[in-house]
């Protein structure tokens, strides 16, 4: 891993941590999770933006495969890796600890870290980053709305449905294709294993999200009938 990438990682971890502390101080009446989700939303938007800017050819967003990463791809991956390291530490301090979320973070950290060390697979990793973060702003929005007092409202339901639709298309349609591309080329074994792990977590979350949406729509219909 080159020195400038290490420096960007260190700067990133410090920046995300500082941002959280400033938000926490500015919003003393909001929960730990609320403040962290504001940071997470900022990262998701930044990650999608940097990933989009690093795509060389939108006719084939996952091309070229199994080749040396471009400087733009390395930057996008380093910024997200620094966030994932910060957020993993936050997960350990949060009262609502989630084993599957922790596993997701570890898989992503190892996968992106391997990509930065090998300095290859940039196209595949950036594409994976793009599809995994595309639905994240809506994930955080639905939870932020709950703490702001909009639980069980039409606005919160709209955020739930929008999140579920984007998650399904990104992770269960585009995700398997990126996994196929990653596994079918001469990428390092560790990256292939992490790609499989990430898709398995996505499938598990898709199952939970589908149940959540079904429950909320059924509950809403029952209230209308009543």
Distance (Å) of CA 215 to CA 8, 132, 133, 163, 220: 43, 24, 25, 15, 9
Residue 215 pLDDT = 86
Residue 223 pLDDT = 60
Residue 225 pLDDT = 56
Count how many residues are written for the chain. 226
Q: Look up the pTM and report it.
A: 0.92
Residue 226 pLDDT = 56
Give per-10-residue mean pLDDT for the chain (226 aa): 88 97 96 95 97 90 89 96 95 77 93 94 95 95 94 89 95 96 93 95 95 84 63
State the residue range of the domain holding 203: 3-225
Residue 95 pLDDT = 67
Q: Cβ–Cβ contacts within 10 Å for residue 44, how many?
A: 22
144-148 LR contacts (CB < 8 Å, sep 24+): 144/34, 144/37, 144/38, 144/41, 147/30, 147/31, 147/33, 147/34
Backbone conformation region of residue 152, classed left if phi is above 0, alpha if psi is from -120 to 50, else beta: left
Phi, psi at 120, each rounded to 5°: -145, 180
Phi, psi at 68, each rounded to 5°: -60, 135
Considering its fold, how many domains does the chain have in total?
Answer: 1
3 state SS for the chain: CCHHHHHHHHHHHHHHHHHHHHHHHHCCCCCHHHHHHHHHHHHHHHHHHHHHHHCCCCCCCCCCCCCECCHHHHHHHHHHHHHHHHHHHHHHHCCCCCHHHHHHHHHHHHHHHHHHHHCECHHHHHHHHHHHHHCHHHHHHHHHHHHHHHCCCHHHHHHHHHHHHHHHHHHHHHHHHHHHHHHHCCCCHHHHHHHHHHHHHHHHHHHHHHHHHHHHHHHHHHHHHC
Q: Which of 152, 156, 107, 159 is nearest to 136 (CA)?
A: 159
């Amino acid at each position: 891993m080159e020195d400038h990438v290490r420096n960007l990682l260190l700067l990133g971890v410090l920046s995300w941590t500082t941002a959280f502390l400033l938000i926490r101080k500015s919003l003393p009446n909001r929960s730990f999770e609320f403040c962290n989700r504001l940071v997470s939303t900022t990262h998701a938007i930044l990650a999608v933006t940097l990933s989009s800017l690093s795509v060389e050819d939108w006719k084939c967003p996952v091309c070229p495969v199994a080749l040396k990463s471009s400087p733009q791809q390395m930057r996008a991956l380093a910024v997200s890796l620094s966030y994932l390291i910060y957020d993993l530490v936050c997960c350990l301090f949060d009262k609502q600890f989630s084993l599957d979320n922790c596993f997701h973070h570890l898989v992503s950290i190892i996968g992106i870290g391997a990509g930065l060390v090998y300095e290859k697979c940039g196209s595949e990793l950036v594409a994976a980053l793009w599809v995994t973060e595309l639905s994240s702003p809506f994930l955080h929005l639905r939870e932020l709305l709950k703490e702001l007092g909009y639980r069980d409202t039409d606005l919160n339901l709209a955020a739930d449905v929008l999140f579920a639709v984007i998650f399904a298309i990104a992770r269960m349609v585009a995700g398997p294709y990126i996994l196929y591309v990653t596994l079918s080329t001469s990428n390092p074994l560790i990256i292939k294993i992490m790609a499989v792990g990430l898709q398995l977590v996505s499938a598990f979350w898709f199952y939970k999200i589908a149940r959540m949406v079904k429950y909320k729509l059924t509950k809403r219909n029952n209230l209308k009938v009543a």
